[in-house]
Copies of this chain bind each other. A is one copy, B any other.
Amino acid sequence: MSALQVLAPEGVPAITSSTELAAVLVPVLANLVWPDGSIGIDAGDVVVLSSKVVSKAEGRLVRADDREDAIDSESVRVVASRENADGSRLRIVENRQGIVMAAAGVDSSNTHAGTILLLPVDPDDSARRLRRGLAARLGGVRPGVILTDSAGRPWRSGVTDLAIGAAGITVLDDLRGTPDDAGRPLETTVVAVADEIAAAADLLKRPTGGRPLAVVRGMAHVVTQEDGPGARGLNRTGPDDMFALGSREAYERGREGLPLHD
Protein backbone atom coordinates (compact mmCIF):
# COMPACT_ATOMS: atom_id res chain seq x y z
CA MET A 1 0.00 0.00 0.00
CA SER A 2 1.59 3.26 -1.15
CA ALA A 3 1.34 6.10 1.33
CA LEU A 4 1.96 9.81 1.22
CA GLN A 5 2.07 12.09 4.23
CA VAL A 6 1.98 15.88 4.07
CA LEU A 7 2.58 18.19 7.02
CA ALA A 8 2.17 21.94 7.21
CA PRO A 9 3.76 23.18 10.42
CA GLU A 10 2.63 26.43 11.95
CA GLY A 11 4.94 29.01 13.41
CA VAL A 12 7.15 29.85 10.46
CA PRO A 13 8.25 33.35 11.49
CA ALA A 14 7.56 36.40 9.35
CA ILE A 15 10.20 36.68 6.66
CA THR A 16 12.01 39.89 5.77
CA SER A 17 14.96 40.70 3.54
CA SER A 18 17.26 40.14 6.49
CA THR A 19 16.01 36.57 7.07
CA GLU A 20 18.19 33.64 6.17
CA LEU A 21 15.53 31.21 5.04
CA ALA A 22 17.30 27.94 5.80
CA ALA A 23 18.16 29.16 9.30
CA VAL A 24 14.52 29.84 10.22
CA LEU A 25 13.13 26.75 8.51
CA VAL A 26 15.47 24.14 9.99
CA PRO A 27 14.13 24.33 13.57
CA VAL A 28 10.59 24.01 12.21
CA LEU A 29 11.57 21.03 10.05
CA ALA A 30 13.40 19.34 12.90
CA ASN A 31 10.24 19.43 15.00
CA LEU A 32 7.87 17.89 12.46
CA VAL A 33 5.77 15.11 14.01
CA TRP A 34 4.51 12.72 11.34
CA PRO A 35 1.23 10.79 11.53
CA ASP A 36 3.28 7.60 11.88
CA GLY A 37 5.04 9.08 14.94
CA SER A 38 8.41 9.79 13.38
CA ILE A 39 10.10 13.13 13.96
CA GLY A 40 11.95 15.58 11.76
CA ILE A 41 12.98 15.49 8.13
CA ASP A 42 14.53 12.82 5.90
CA ALA A 43 16.52 12.89 2.69
CA GLY A 44 13.57 11.59 0.64
CA ASP A 45 11.19 14.30 1.81
CA VAL A 46 10.21 17.29 -0.28
CA VAL A 47 10.20 20.76 1.29
CA VAL A 48 7.54 22.84 -0.46
CA LEU A 49 7.68 26.57 0.18
CA SER A 50 5.60 29.44 -1.13
CA SER A 51 7.75 31.56 -3.43
CA LYS A 52 6.27 34.66 -1.76
CA VAL A 53 8.39 33.89 1.28
CA VAL A 54 11.46 33.53 -0.90
CA SER A 55 10.68 36.83 -2.62
CA LYS A 56 10.52 38.53 0.76
CA ALA A 57 13.83 37.02 1.82
CA GLU A 58 15.34 38.20 -1.46
CA GLY A 59 14.00 41.73 -1.02
CA ARG A 60 11.81 41.56 -4.13
CA LEU A 61 9.43 44.27 -2.86
CA VAL A 62 8.58 47.32 -4.91
CA ARG A 63 6.18 50.23 -4.40
CA ALA A 64 2.57 49.42 -5.24
CA ASP A 65 2.34 52.61 -7.32
CA ASP A 66 4.80 51.02 -9.68
CA ARG A 67 2.69 47.88 -10.25
CA GLU A 68 2.09 48.35 -13.99
CA ASP A 69 5.74 49.23 -14.59
CA ALA A 70 6.77 46.21 -12.54
CA ILE A 71 4.58 43.91 -14.67
CA ASP A 72 6.13 45.46 -17.79
CA SER A 73 9.64 44.84 -16.61
CA GLU A 74 8.87 41.30 -15.39
CA SER A 75 7.35 40.34 -18.75
CA VAL A 76 9.04 39.18 -21.92
CA ARG A 77 5.83 38.80 -23.96
CA VAL A 78 2.13 39.60 -23.64
CA VAL A 79 -0.03 36.56 -24.42
CA ALA A 80 -3.46 38.07 -23.80
CA SER A 81 -4.99 41.03 -22.06
CA ARG A 82 -8.43 42.24 -21.11
CA GLU A 83 -10.03 45.23 -19.45
CA ASN A 84 -11.64 44.32 -16.14
CA ALA A 85 -15.02 45.70 -15.08
CA ASP A 86 -13.27 48.12 -12.69
CA GLY A 87 -11.14 49.58 -15.48
CA SER A 88 -7.97 47.78 -14.47
CA ARG A 89 -6.21 45.59 -16.99
CA LEU A 90 -5.67 41.83 -16.72
CA ARG A 91 -2.54 40.80 -18.56
CA ILE A 92 -1.52 37.19 -19.16
CA VAL A 93 2.20 37.30 -19.97
CA GLU A 94 5.24 35.13 -20.32
CA ASN A 95 7.51 36.35 -17.55
CA ARG A 96 11.28 36.42 -17.21
CA GLN A 97 11.13 33.06 -15.46
CA GLY A 98 9.53 31.58 -18.61
CA ILE A 99 6.16 31.02 -16.96
CA VAL A 100 2.90 32.16 -18.56
CA MET A 101 0.77 33.69 -15.82
CA ALA A 102 -1.41 36.64 -14.93
CA ALA A 103 0.38 39.90 -14.07
CA ALA A 104 3.75 38.16 -14.46
CA GLY A 105 3.29 36.78 -10.96
CA VAL A 106 3.42 40.26 -9.40
CA ASP A 107 1.44 39.93 -6.17
CA SER A 108 -0.33 42.58 -4.13
CA SER A 109 -1.51 40.43 -1.24
CA ASN A 110 0.40 39.53 1.90
CA THR A 111 2.74 42.47 1.65
CA HIS A 112 2.97 45.61 3.70
CA ALA A 113 0.52 48.30 2.59
CA GLY A 114 1.88 50.22 -0.36
CA THR A 115 4.19 47.45 -1.51
CA ILE A 116 3.93 44.56 -3.95
CA LEU A 117 6.01 41.47 -4.39
CA LEU A 118 7.85 40.25 -7.48
CA LEU A 119 8.73 36.59 -8.07
CA PRO A 120 12.28 35.49 -7.28
CA VAL A 121 14.61 36.43 -10.14
CA ASP A 122 15.60 32.79 -10.71
CA PRO A 123 13.39 30.46 -8.66
CA ASP A 124 15.43 27.36 -9.57
CA ASP A 125 18.56 29.05 -8.28
CA SER A 126 16.68 30.11 -5.13
CA ALA A 127 15.61 26.47 -4.64
CA ARG A 128 19.19 25.26 -5.05
CA ARG A 129 20.49 27.78 -2.54
CA LEU A 130 17.78 26.87 -0.04
CA ARG A 131 18.62 23.18 -0.48
CA ARG A 132 22.30 23.86 0.16
CA GLY A 133 21.42 25.91 3.23
CA LEU A 134 19.18 23.17 4.59
CA ALA A 135 21.78 20.44 3.98
CA ALA A 136 24.46 22.47 5.73
CA ARG A 137 22.28 22.69 8.84
CA LEU A 138 20.85 19.16 8.67
CA GLY A 139 24.09 17.22 8.73
CA GLY A 140 24.08 16.70 4.98
CA VAL A 141 20.46 15.55 4.68
CA ARG A 142 19.34 16.89 1.31
CA PRO A 143 15.56 16.91 0.93
CA GLY A 144 14.08 17.96 -2.39
CA VAL A 145 12.94 21.58 -2.60
CA ILE A 146 9.98 22.99 -4.53
CA LEU A 147 9.02 26.67 -4.63
CA THR A 148 5.40 27.35 -5.53
CA ASP A 149 3.12 30.03 -6.80
CA SER A 150 -0.60 29.90 -7.44
CA ALA A 151 -1.92 30.47 -10.94
CA GLY A 152 -5.17 30.46 -12.81
CA ARG A 153 -5.71 28.19 -15.80
CA PRO A 154 -7.51 28.47 -19.11
CA TRP A 155 -10.92 26.77 -19.03
CA ARG A 156 -10.82 25.92 -15.30
CA SER A 157 -12.13 27.94 -12.38
CA GLY A 158 -9.97 28.62 -9.35
CA VAL A 159 -6.25 28.67 -8.88
CA THR A 160 -3.89 25.78 -8.17
CA ASP A 161 -0.29 25.85 -7.04
CA LEU A 162 2.49 25.20 -9.54
CA ALA A 163 6.17 24.40 -9.06
CA ILE A 164 8.03 27.49 -10.24
CA GLY A 165 11.39 26.48 -8.75
CA ALA A 166 12.86 23.10 -7.89
CA ALA A 167 16.09 21.50 -6.72
CA GLY A 168 16.70 17.77 -6.38
CA ILE A 169 13.37 16.86 -7.98
CA THR A 170 12.55 14.92 -11.13
CA VAL A 171 9.93 17.46 -12.20
CA LEU A 172 8.54 15.31 -15.02
CA ASP A 173 7.91 11.62 -14.31
CA ASP A 174 8.15 9.90 -17.68
CA LEU A 175 5.98 6.77 -17.75
CA ARG A 176 6.26 6.33 -21.52
CA GLY A 177 7.14 2.79 -22.39
CA THR A 178 5.69 1.37 -19.18
CA PRO A 179 3.30 -1.41 -20.22
CA ASP A 180 -0.36 -0.62 -19.66
CA ASP A 181 -2.83 -3.17 -18.32
CA ALA A 182 -3.30 -4.58 -21.80
CA GLY A 183 0.48 -4.96 -22.20
CA ARG A 184 0.94 -2.09 -24.66
CA PRO A 185 3.42 0.68 -23.87
CA LEU A 186 1.88 3.88 -22.55
CA GLU A 187 2.42 6.51 -25.19
CA THR A 188 1.79 9.92 -23.81
CA THR A 189 1.96 9.78 -20.07
CA VAL A 190 4.56 12.21 -18.80
CA VAL A 191 3.33 13.36 -15.41
CA ALA A 192 4.14 16.86 -14.15
CA VAL A 193 4.94 15.43 -10.76
CA ALA A 194 6.45 18.63 -9.35
CA ASP A 195 3.22 20.48 -10.09
CA GLU A 196 1.23 17.68 -8.44
CA ILE A 197 3.44 17.86 -5.34
CA ALA A 198 2.93 21.64 -5.29
CA ALA A 199 -0.84 21.09 -5.48
CA ALA A 200 -0.79 18.48 -2.71
CA ALA A 201 1.19 20.83 -0.45
CA ASP A 202 -1.21 23.68 -1.17
CA LEU A 203 -4.04 21.64 0.37
CA LEU A 204 -2.44 22.44 3.74
CA LYS A 205 -0.43 25.59 3.16
CA ARG A 206 -2.25 28.86 3.48
CA PRO A 207 -1.51 32.24 1.97
CA THR A 208 -1.87 33.68 5.47
CA GLY A 209 -1.08 32.86 9.06
CA GLY A 210 2.47 31.59 9.13
CA ARG A 211 1.85 28.45 7.08
CA PRO A 212 3.82 29.00 3.83
CA LEU A 213 5.56 25.64 4.19
CA ALA A 214 4.57 22.00 3.74
CA VAL A 215 6.67 18.86 3.67
CA VAL A 216 5.72 15.86 1.54
CA ARG A 217 6.89 12.37 2.51
CA GLY A 218 6.48 9.37 0.23
CA MET A 219 7.91 10.71 -3.03
CA ALA A 220 11.54 9.70 -2.46
CA HIS A 221 11.63 8.14 -5.96
CA VAL A 222 11.56 11.62 -7.48
CA VAL A 223 14.10 13.15 -5.08
CA THR A 224 17.57 13.16 -6.63
CA GLN A 225 21.05 13.64 -5.23
CA GLU A 226 21.90 16.15 -7.96
CA ASP A 227 19.95 19.40 -7.97
CA GLY A 228 19.04 18.81 -11.62
CA PRO A 229 17.69 21.33 -14.12
CA GLY A 230 14.80 22.55 -11.96
CA ALA A 231 11.26 23.66 -12.69
CA ARG A 232 12.09 25.67 -15.79
CA GLY A 233 11.68 22.42 -17.73
CA LEU A 234 7.97 22.51 -16.93
CA ASN A 235 7.49 25.60 -19.09
CA ARG A 236 6.26 24.86 -22.58
CA THR A 237 6.16 27.75 -25.00
CA GLY A 238 7.48 28.29 -28.51
CA PRO A 239 6.42 27.48 -32.04
CA ASP A 240 4.37 24.42 -31.01
CA ASP A 241 2.27 26.44 -28.58
CA MET A 242 -1.35 26.31 -29.76
CA PHE A 243 -2.22 29.11 -27.31
CA ALA A 244 0.75 31.40 -27.83
CA LEU A 245 -1.69 34.30 -28.19
CA GLY A 246 -5.14 34.88 -26.74
CA SER A 247 -8.04 34.43 -29.15
CA ARG A 248 -8.71 38.17 -29.40
CA GLU A 249 -5.05 39.04 -29.98
CA ALA A 250 -4.62 36.38 -32.66
CA TYR A 251 -7.88 37.39 -34.33
CA GLU A 252 -6.82 41.04 -34.51
CA ARG A 253 -3.51 40.11 -36.12
CA GLY A 254 -5.41 38.19 -38.78
CA ARG A 255 -7.78 41.11 -39.41
CA GLU A 256 -4.84 43.48 -39.78
CA GLY A 257 -3.01 41.20 -42.21
CA LEU A 258 -0.06 40.75 -39.85
CA PRO A 259 1.72 37.41 -39.49
CA LEU A 260 0.47 35.38 -36.50
CA HIS A 261 3.85 35.68 -34.78
CA ASP A 262 6.40 38.46 -35.14
Contact = CB atoms under 8 A, between A and B. Distances in A.
Contacts of A156: 162, 192, 195, 234-236
A35 interface: yes
A159 interface: yes
Contacts of A4: 4-7, 200, 203-204
Contacts of A150: 189, 191
A195 B87 CA distance: 31
A99 B153 CA distance: 13
A203 B241 CA distance: 27
Contacts of A6: 3-6, 200, 218
Contact of A7 (B1, B82, B189): B1
11 contacts: A2-B204, A3-B7, A35-B36, A109-B189, A110-B181, A154-B154, A156-B235, A157-B190, A158-B193, A247-B250, A255-B257
B179 A208 contact: yes
B8 A1 contact: yes
Given A3-B8, A156-B235, 17 more contacts: A2-B7, A3-B35, A4-B200, A80-B242, A109-B180, A109-B186, A150-B191, A155-B237, A157-B192, A159-B192, A160-B196, A191-B202, A193-B203, A242-B247, A247-B260, A252-B254, A254-B254
Contacts of A100: 154-155
B242 A32 contact: no
A6 to B, nearest CB: 4
A88 to B, nearest CB: 11
Interface string A92-120: 10100001100000001111110000000
Nearest to A240: B82
A157 B172 contact: yes
A236 B157 contact: yes
A202 B173 CA distance: 12
A5 B179 CA distance: 28
Please name the 5 residue pairs, one residue from A and one from B, whose CB atoms are nearest each other, closest first.
A254-B254, A158-B192, A200-B200, A199-B199, A250-B250
A189 B207 contact: yes
A158 B234 contact: yes
A207 B175 contact: yes
A248 interface: yes
Given A190-B157, A199-B196, A33 B1 contact: yes
A209 B234 contact: no
Interface in A212-262: 218-219, 233-237, 241-257, 260
A172 to B, nearest CB: 5
